[in-house]
Structure 1
Amino acid sequence: MKTDILAFGAHPDDVELGCGGTLAKMVSEGKTCVIVDLTKGELGTRGNEETRKAEAADSVRILGVAARENLGMKDGFLENSEDYQMRIVKMVRKYRPEIVLANAIDDRHPDHAKGAKLVSDACFLAGLRKIETVLEGESQEIWRPKHIFHYIQWKNIEPEFVIDISDHLDKKIAACMAFKTQFYDPASKEPQTPITSKDFFESLTYRAQDLGRLSGVTYAEGFTSEKLIALKNFDGIVW
């Protein structure tokens, strides 16, 4: 499947929180988007592997992405190993994205920064001819994405650019709240965590609103880039 955007997350719900609005927007514009979760989020305080899997499927229906996969890496113990790199290489070669979205380059959860580096390194390796991979019995062709962008998570990293998600914030929030075991639920009897608070839930809106304020739109999501971005012209810039 040739895709436009391949979004990686260390845990199910990372993509929704970091770039759910952007994916919803891209899908609405006819772009093909796929999500790949590195782990099952099995160490999460709330829920379990099965609830996270069901919630991830609900989010897929909300966002309208073409597919979602889970690479079954060990939650809490991501490492930049050959095994983990090759799992990602196979996904990059399978979906052949123009753009890869990955975890924040620095964040509260150690898996996020580790996942960011892991995905970045694997994207480079996916373009090397002497690395041969086989998926479902067939040899894969090499592929290297044109861009790798990192979304922003817990920490307020200064973005290098933002995507206007003014018409898609509601869908982003709905996709996040599909993970009902993980976020704000005043009726829940499970232990409280930093992401289950009402304040965190409200931050989904006020962070997007603040980035929008700074960029002249209503709501936005921020990203950092691994290389300098060149514009062909000024088309597409919000004035």
Structure 2
Amino acid sequence: MKTDILAFGAHPDDVELGCGGTIAKLISEGKTCVIVDLTKGELGTRGTDQTRKEEATEAAKILGVAARENLGLKDGFLVNSEEYQMEIVKMIRKYRPEIILANAIDDRHPDHAKAAKLVSDACFLAGLRKIETVLNDQVQEVWRPKQVFHYIQWKHIQPEFVIDISEHLDKKLEACMAFKTQFYDPTSKEPETPITSKDFYESLTYRAQDLGRLSGVTYAEGFTSEKLIALKNFDGIVW
């Protein structure tokens, strides 16, 4: 299955929070996108791995992604090991994306930065012909994405570019709130966490609004790039 964008998240909901608006926009433009969650988020204070699975399925439907998979790696204990790298290599070779979206390069949750490096290294390894992988009894062809971009999460990181999501913020918020056990719910009896507050929910809008203010659009999502980006021309730049 050839896809345009493969988005990785350390936990179910990372992708929605970090780049849900961008995914919604790209899909509306005819691009194909697949989400791969590295863990089940089983250590989360609220909910269970089963409720997270159900919520992730609903969020994927809202965004309109072509597929969503979960690798079942160990939540809270991601390591940049050969075992974990090879699982990600298999996904890259399976979906053959042009662009990879991955976790923030530095963040509050230690899994996020670990996932960023893990996915980055796997992208390189996926292009090495002497590394053989087998999926569903088939030897996979090598594949290396053209670009690896990292979305921004809890911490403020200066973006190297932003995507205008002005027409897609509502869908991003809807996809995020599909994870109803995880975010703001004044009726919930479960313990409070930094992401369950009303302020955190509102920050999804005002952070996108601030990036929009700085870039001349209404709402935007920011990214960092692993390599220098070259433009063929000035088409696509918001003036």
TM-score in terms of structure 1 length: 1.00
Q: How many Å separate the matches in 1 of 2:225 and 2:109?
A: 20
Report the counterpart of residue 37 of structure 2 in structure 1. Answer: 37
Runs of 4+ in structure 1 deviating by more than 6 angstroms, as ranges, are none
Find the residue that maps to 2:15 and give its secondary structure.
helix
Q: How many Å separate the matches in 1 of 2:187 and 2:203?
A: 20
Report the counterpart of residue 13 of structure 2 in structure 1. Answer: 13
Deviations 1:68-113 (A, max 9, x none): 0000000000000000000000000000000000000000000000
Report the counterpart of residue 97 of structure 1 in structure 2. Answer: 97
CA RMSD of aligned residues (A): 0.2
- Partner letter of residue 130 of structure 2? K
Q: Please say if 1:60 is aligned against 2:63.
A: no
Within 5 Å, give how 1:1-239 maps onto structure 2: 1-239=1-239
Shift of 1:66: 0.2
- Partner letter of residue 214 of structure 2? L
Shift of 1:213: 0.1
Structure 2 spans left out of the alignment, 5+ residues: none
Find the residue that maps to 1:200 and give its secondary structure.
helix
Q: How many Å separate the matches in 2 of 1:25 and 1:181?
A: 26
Identity over the aligned pairs, expressed in percent? 86
